[in-house]
Structure 1
């Protein structure tokens, strides 16, 4: 089921027209590797499949296990293609393929270069307990490699989340939460596989009894669920991210020209760009005519806040004006006109700045004034 689902949607993604073409390619390749893993499990440990594969060709054995070495780098590259603009592979990214190439070399030397008769004989007499010990340690190293890349994915996502909080119009990014949950789940699944391999080593070396069947089934069904959710995410949510420059946090901040602060204030007061609910720091920088990094430095260092706080401060001011002078407009209309696209964010910032909720502010603003008779 998992293999069929992965191959079906990999084909769909490769033929789908989308602005996220690079992301779709990485995801489709990741899904193909995810399909290879259950096929390897079926051939290696499924009694019926093992017999059929052995009769068909001994070359099928271990062939699909390459998926373990490729799916982790591909998931990382997929995540990066979502969060970075115009993402392309660098030489440092390709280093992650070294374990895969080392595995191919090992398999060629110790299995595929051996005669067909010897390969069949080896497979027919295969026993977990008689497998050379170093093979188990390579398998454990493989799972550790997959977990490590999952952690790298989470670090990249946390970096992106920090950027969104500082430089983007809204902190409510449910789509990013989806991706974070999925990557976390895949990383935990890999950690579970690492535990199973560790138990396997204990079983072989020390005779510890472990129910590998139940452990394997749990991992297989979990993988099926996660793949289904990942496909749902990719089709419904991944396209919303504009991405950031890959090296956005590397350069040191440059000195700020004194006139930049006034240029920013003049433009915002004249054009009210904050009323655009999808305003980002990149768009505002283009409108003002400043590099994005320069605008970010101006806001952070001249106004002592981040872009998110800076823009929402103007939005709250706009909302107070509308609430005081346009009683015919509903709270939600005021929220939208002021530039907020989230009721929770609107209420939070409004109360933080005014000490009242929007409803309380309107009620107090519209109270009739009493004359002082003293």
Structure 2
């Protein structure tokens, strides 16, 4: 599922992206800082849900929502620091599905996203598997370990995982570890690449760097420099 975030504050975008990835790691997040960037993304990607900041440079979020309604079938949620009935009323008239205030609280965001998570229904076995991966990604977690924890056959779990999640077990684990590594590279600038590699469950720094470059096009150091300039 493609999610669009539009906000002129980079930190707000990063925080919302992190919260979405944390709770729904297989969803694709696209970010824009103004209406023009948002419209370019909409012309290239089939966006299912969009979060629009009301106070944008140039066109406001409400104006962007109106344009989006003519172009896309995406559901729209307005995000604003202003708890103002007039804004809410205008948003409702435009047909937005919800309205949340800044600073965005994880519980509020997840409540909105849960309405869409039902579109992707995981069996109880896969839900348990994903929870265990998220809780133990820094450890040497294997398919056999997961299968033993939820008391099913490893081959059956492997097949179910591929069918329901859309990617294989190992690919998903690496994707989640890399997502956590990206956050750690930014949040812990004092940590070495080797430390982050180990904390995120990779067997070696070399393998970690290889996987990181494959996913992002950058080395871990280049990514850190790009994001925080250190």
TM-score by length of 1: 0.27
Q: Which has the higher contact order (CA 8 A, sep 6+)?
A: 1
More helix by share: 1
Bigger radius of gyration, 1 or 2? 1
More strand by share: 2
